[in-house]
Amino acid sequence: MNPIKDLNDFLYIFKDSLCKWDCWIYTLITDTGYSKPWFCAFFPLFPLIVKNLKILFNGNVFYTAFILSNLFCFFAVVFLYNLVKDVYSEKVALYTIVFFMASPTILFYSTFYTESLFLMLVTLFFLLINNKKWFYSALVAALASATRNAGIFLSFILVFEYFRNQKWPVKLSDYRIILYFLISVTGLISFMIFLKLKYDDFFYFIKATQNWPERNGFTFPLWDFLKWLKNITVTFQFKITHDRNNLSFIYILITVLLIFWGIRKIKADQAIFLLMVVLIISVQPRIISCSRYLSSAFPVWILLALFVVENKREKLLYKIIIFLMLFWQFYMNYRWVAGYWVD
């Protein structure tokens, strides 16, 4: 028996179980930069953070990313709990956190994906907005726009909330919001300048996805979702194969139903953010990977919590939802570890 060999074998299996799909791409970006044109579809902030902090973990990219992802997820949960508690109630906040943690997409928050970092930045942004910390909100929005393309939505929400909190009529001499807006987009702008210098195209992060299968171009909002609705086949593949499952379809369906049910029950800035995320997802030609994108649109978890709290059979409904979510989470983890597509 060799303890060192056994430990190395365990660590290899652990890494192989968690690092799938985009995780390897972010690992390559961390190691080699944007050496391949199609890498440009992946935004740079998280790989940059890992690259600069991996020295603390013996230069190991994956374990640096793994620890950071879980740390970011922890702070995201803390920020989300306080955000919801301040605006709604402690019970709604607790339900929101439980639903988020029980969701089938929670596995993306423990590996080298941008979900945990993005959610942490988004929830921190909304906390700062609620406290009218405009400058710090702009800084956080800048980081979010360097993490994922949806981060640019925070810049527009910043402008919306700034004007909504001003006394009318707003003085034309108040140029601060212009400064805040410019700061908030620096993450995306910096990435675009880099792409212009390297690939001679400011928008190469869009062009980089054009050769991806099933991702070329845009379509009418929710068109692919409607096609799935017409030919719905919700099946569990216990004999795991590479066939697509229906997680993204179910996430979009539940999100759309919750929006119709209670979009007016949440704050305007949160509603706008959720609608923006749904819109950008809905114009994709195929609803692939939508579940994890929607999972970081935190207002959907608030809507689900409100729906349960306001239901007469609250406790029963809560137990049913948790059971279904945990069952699906187990199933998704099972597919993920086996190396099959999950969303």
pLDDT at 242: 45
Taking phi first (over 0 means left), then psi (-120 to 50 degrees means alpha), and beta for anything else, what does residue 222 get?
left
Distance, CA of 245 to CA of 249 (rounded, Å): 9
Two tokens, residue 219:
């379509």
Confirm if 236 and 342 have CB atoms less than 8 A apart. no
pLDDT at 238: 46
The stretches of the chain forming alpha helices (DSSP H) are 3-18, 22-32, 45-53, 61-87, 90-102, 115-130, 134-145, 153-164, 176-184, 186-199, 204-207, 223-230, 247-262, 268-282, 290-295, 299-309, 314-337
Distance, CA of 282 to CA of 221 (rounded, Å): 5
**Scanning the structure block, which residue is given the tokens 């793994």?**
66
- What's this model's pTM, rounded to 2 decimal places? 0.91
Confirm if 129 and 157 have CB atoms less than 8 A apart. yes
**Scanning the structure block, which residue is given the tokens 């365990």?**
10
Task: List, run by run, the mean pLDDT of 10-residue segments along the chain (343 residues).
Answer: 61 78 94 93 97 94 96 98 97 98 94 97 98 97 97 96 81 79 98 96 86 56 56 49 60 90 96 93 72 92 98 96 94 83 70
pLDDT at 232: 54
- Identity of the amino acid at 284: Q
- Identity of the amino acid at 83: L
Distance, CA of 58 to CA of 70 (rounded, Å): 18
Q: What separation in angstroms does the CA of 257 have from each of 101, 246, 262, 304?
A: 21, 17, 9, 10
Confirm if 99 and 326 have CB atoms less than 8 A apart. no
pLDDT at 1: 57
pLDDT at 171: 66
Confirm if 87 and 267 have CB atoms less than 8 A apart. yes
- Identity of the amino acid at 87: V
